[in-house]
Amino acid sequence: MLLRPAREEEMQAGALGAPMRRVEDDRLLRGGGRFVSDLFPRDALHAVFVRAVAAPAELRHVDTQAAAAMPGVRLVLTGADTAALGRAAVNPLVDGLKAAAWPALAAGRIEAVGQPVALVVADTPAQAQDAAEAVVVETGAVDAADFDRAFAQEWVSGDVERAFADAAHVVRVELAYPRVAPMALEPRAALADWRDGAMALWLSTQTPHRARADIAAILGLGIDAIRVVAPDVGGAFGGKASIYPEEAALALASMRLGRPVAWTATRSEEFLSAAHGRALKISGALALAADGRFLGLRATVDAELGHWLTYSAVVPARNAARILPGPYRIGAVHLAARGSRSLRAPVGIYRGAGRPEAAMLMERLVDAAARRLGADPIALRRANIHPAASLPQPMPAGGQLDRSDFAALLEAARGSADYARLRALTHQRRAAGAVCGVGVALYVEPCGQGAESATLCHEGGGRFTLATGATAQGQGRETAYAQIAADVLGVSPDCIKVVHGDTAATPPGVGALASRSTAIGGSAVLEAARRLIGTLGAVPAKGWSAVPAGAVEVNYTAADEAWASGACIACVEIDRETGVPTVERLVWVDDAGTVVNPMLVEGQLRGGLAQGVGEALMERIVYDPQGQLLTGSLMDYSVPRAADIPPATIVSCPTPSAANRLGAKGVGEAGTIGVPAAIVNAALDALAPFGVEDIQMPLRAEVLWRAMLNGETDR
Ligand code: SMO
C-alpha cells in the first residue's frame, strides 16, 4: 500500500478514502488518554482479589476474620456472598450448548488456578493487598473434575465417502494451535459506583452495552439502573468482549458499601484469569484427484474452553468450522466442531477467533497436497479456487462467501513477491547449504454481520454530533466515522464530533469486535448521514449555516455478512546450527473492500500481522500437568518486540463487499489469519529436504533444530 502524507487539500475532495491522520493521536500521544484507572475518584476504595493457588480442589472454608480486622479494610466478600448473583450470558451459536456454572467468586469448589476466591476492599491498594494475604483458604483434595462436552455439532455437504473413495491421494494434517494471551497493553480495570439506586461502571471493555445487560442480570436490576462507560481502552483484541467474574464481584462490593470501588488487574492476573485465545486442536484430510482437483475435505475442530464460558466461548470453534473449506471449490465436506470445559483459565475470542486455526489447517493441507503432487503451491490453489464470477457462494457450515477475487489476490502476491525468482533463488541457496523455504497462504475471513446503531445530530451551524453503539480500543474509530459522515454531508471531518463507549450517551449497540465496526457501524453512520440530509432537506450551496438543527437515529442491519480475503507469501530461513528462524520477507495482498482511510487500514493490518508473527514464532501459554501457569509474566511469556517483526509488503486489492451499505470488509483481525499459515508453510518448505512433514507452533528455535536433527537421523 503506497501512502502519501496526509494533506488538507486531499480531504476537501471527499473524506471517504482519504489518508487522514487520526484525530485521537494528539491527545493520546501527549499523555491525555483517560483510561479506567485514570478515572478513579479520590474517595474510591480499592479491591484486591484472593485467587486460587491450586486446582481442582474442594473449597471447604474461606476464613476472612483476620483480614476483615486489618487496617483500612471495609469489606471482604466470598463465594457465599456472590452465590445469589445472576449469571452472564453466553452466545448460543451452536446446537445444544451446555452452560457452565458462573460463580463470581468460587463456591464449593475451585476449578482453575487463578480463579477469584475472595474480594478484599480497603481504603488503599496496599491495605487491600496486605489483607488479601491474611485470608485463609481451606481446601480439600478432589478427583480431577470430569468436564464433559459443552457442545458438539456437525455439518455435511456432498458425498464425502465417495470423494475419499475416489481420491488418488489423501493428505492429512493434525495441529494443536497453542493457547495464547491477547496481551492488551492496558490490563483489565473497573470502577463500580453504586449510588441512589443506580450502578455506574467504568470498564475497560469492547462491549459496554452488552456489559450493561449482563450486569443488570447479575445484580437482578432493571437495565435502566445501569450505566456502563468504556473510556479510552488500551487494546482488547477480543479479550475484553465478555463480562468477567471480577467485574461482577466489584459491582456487588460497591452496592454493599455505597462507595465507588476500583480495581486494576496486574499483568500476572491477566495471564492467570483473563480469557486466552486459540487452544484449538484441529485435524483434517483433503482428498485429491490425480489431476490435483480437490474432491473432499474432512475436518474436526476441538476447542478447549477453560473452566467458565465467556460470552463468545463458542465462537472460535464455530468460526473455524464456518470458514472451511476456505476459498476452495470442494464438493464434499464433513466438518465437526466440539468444545469441552477444562481446569484452566477461560479461552475466548482473540484477534482472528478460529479463523487463523482453520486457515492454518486448510493452507497446510494445500501445501502438503502440492508437495505430494509435485505441483506448484500457487498453481494448485489457482486450479481449485472459486472464480470471482461464481461468488457469492454458500458455505458448508452456513453463511455465504462474499464477493472476492481470489485469482487476483494470488496473482498480485505472485507479482509483488517476484515469485518465480524467489523460488529459483531458494533452490540456489539450498544448493549452497542454506535451510530456506517459501510458503503461501490464501484465506477468507467472515467479518461483519448483524446490526449497529448511530444517531447523528446537526447541532446547527454545520456542527454535528455522531453517537455510535460501536466502541474503540485504538482503531481510530472517531477518525473513520467522521470521514464517513463528512463525505455524505459535504463538510470537513473536524465538524463532526464522534461519541462512543458510554451507554448513557449512545444508542444501544454491539461494540467493537469481530472486525465489524467499519462494515456494520460504518454503514449505520453512512445511513444516518443520508437520512439526515433527507430529513433536513437539500443543503444550500452556501453551506449548513442556514440549515436548522435536527437529528436522526438509525439501527442498521447488514443484508449479509462481509467476507474479507487475502493472499500471503513468506520466506523463512532457518539457521542450520541453532534452528533460529528468520522471516526474511512477507508479501500480503489484502482485500478490505471499500477503504475509508488507507492509513488506518494499514495500521490495523500491520498490528494484526505483528500478533500473527508472534503466535507463529514465539507465543505460548504453558501450564504444567498440575494446572500451574508457567507463563504468568512477561519474563516467561514471549510477545514479539518491534525488532521481531519482519519487513512486510502490504498490497491493497479491494473488491467491495455486497453485504453492507458501505461495501467495507474487516481489517482488524486479518493479519493473524494468513500470515501465520504462510510462515509455517515456509518453514515446512525449508524443512522438506530433511524429510520433515509436520511441525507444531510456535516455531521456536528448539522445535526447528530438533526437527532438522530428527529428520536427518530418520533417514
Ligand atoms: S477477537 Mo475480536 O475482538 O472479535
What ligand 1 atom has the least distance to the C-alpha of 239? 3
The verdict on the CB of residue 238 being under 6 Å from ligand 1 is yes
* Pair (625, 608) in one structural domain: yes
Residue 588 belongs to a domain: yes
* Pair (517, 576) in one structural domain: no
DSSP assigned state of 546: G
pLDDT more than 90, % of the chain: 94
CA of 373 to the centre of ligand 1 (A): 37
Q: Is the pLDDT of residue 712 over 90?
A: no
Pocket test for ligand 1, best of 210, 242, 349 (most atoms within 8 A of CB): 349
Residue-wise pLDDT for 480-496, tens only, equals: 999 999 999 999 999 99
* Pair (442, 454) in one structural domain: no
Q: Is the pLDDT of residue 577 over 50?
A: yes
DSSP assigned state of 561: -
Residue 4 belongs to a domain: no
The verdict on the CB of residue 512 being under 6 Å from ligand 1 is no
Nine-digit cell string for 222: 432493571
Q: Where are the beta strands (DSSP E) in 35-188?
A: 45-51, 57-63, 73-78, 109-110, 116-122, 136-140, 149-157, 169-176, 179-180
At residue 225, the 3 state secondary structure works out as: helix
Give the domain extent around 423.
Answer: 404-446+562-714
The verdict on the CB of residue 472 being under 6 Å from ligand 1 is no
The verdict on the CB of residue 547 being under 6 Å from ligand 1 is no
Whole-Å CA distances, 693 to 63, 170, 433, 681, 711: 55, 14, 20, 10, 9
Residue 305 belongs to a domain: no
1: confidence class by pLDDT, cuts 50, 70, 90: very low
CA of 2 to the centre of ligand 1 (A): 28
Distance of CA 292 to the CA centre of its chain: 34
Q: Is the pLDDT of residue 676 over 70?
A: yes
Strand order in the sheet with 550-557: 496-499, 463-468, 451-460, 550-557
* Pair (410, 455) in one structural domain: no
What ligand 1 atom has the least distance to the C-alpha of 236? 3
Residue 213 belongs to a domain: no
446: confidence class by pLDDT, cuts 50, 70, 90: very high
Domain harbouring 642, CATH code:
3.30.365.10
Residue-wise pLDDT for 342-381, tens only, equals: 999 999 999 999 999 999 999 999 999 999 999 999 999 9
**Dist. CA 12–CA 354, nearest whole Å:** 41
* Pair (689, 568) in one structural domain: yes
Cβ proximity of 526 and 453 under 8 Å: no
- How many C-alpha atoms does 367 have within 13 Å on its Cβ side? 28
Residue 285 belongs to a domain: no
Cβ proximity of 269 and 114 under 8 Å: yes
Residue 598 belongs to a domain: yes
Given 505, 522, 557, the domain boundary residue is: 557
The verdict on the CB of residue 22 being under 6 Å from ligand 1 is no
Residue-wise pLDDT for 688-708, tens only, equals: 999 999 999 999 999 999 999
CA of 39 to the centre of ligand 1 (A): 25
* Pair (470, 547) in one structural domain: yes
* Pair (624, 707) in one structural domain: yes
Residue-wise pLDDT for 28-67, tens only, equals: 999 999 999 999 999 999 999 999 999 999 999 999 999 9
Given 557, 586, 602, the domain boundary residue is: 557
Pocket test for ligand 1, best of 351, 449, 473 (most atoms within 8 A of CB): 351
* Pair (657, 549) in one structural domain: no
What ligand 1 atom has the least distance to the C-alpha of 238? 3
Residue 131 belongs to a domain: no
Given 527, 557, 587, the domain boundary residue is: 557
CA of 513 to the centre of ligand 1 (A): 4
Pocket test for ligand 1, best of 513, 520, 667 (most atoms within 8 A of CB): 513
Give the list of residues 6+ apart from residue 389 with CB closer than 8 angstroms, or none.
none
The verdict on the CB of residue 241 being under 6 Å from ligand 1 is yes
Cβ proximity of 673 and 591 under 8 Å: no
* Pair (567, 691) in one structural domain: yes
pLDDT given for residue 146 in this prediction = 63
pLDDT given for residue 586 in this prediction = 98
CA of 516 to the centre of ligand 1 (A): 9
At residue 175, the 3 state secondary structure works out as: strand
Q: Of the candidates 362, 273, 282, 265, which has an alpha carbon nearest to the alpha carbon of residue 310?
A: 273
Total domain count, the chain: 2
* Pair (705, 604) in one structural domain: yes
* Pair (552, 567) in one structural domain: no
Residue 509 belongs to a domain: yes
Residue-wise over 71-86: b if at least 16 C-beta within 10 A, else e?
eebbbbbbbebbeebb
Whose C-alpha lies nearest to ligand 1, atom 3? 238
pLDDT given for residue 662 in this prediction = 96
What ligand 1 atom has the least distance to the C-alpha of 516? 4
Grid cell 463468545 is found at 312
| Mean pLDDT across the chain | 95
* Pair (615, 687) in one structural domain: yes
The verdict on the CB of residue 180 being under 6 Å from ligand 1 is no
Alpha helices in 13-118 (DSSP H): 25-29, 65-68, 79-82
What ligand 1 atom has the least distance to the C-alpha of 240? 3
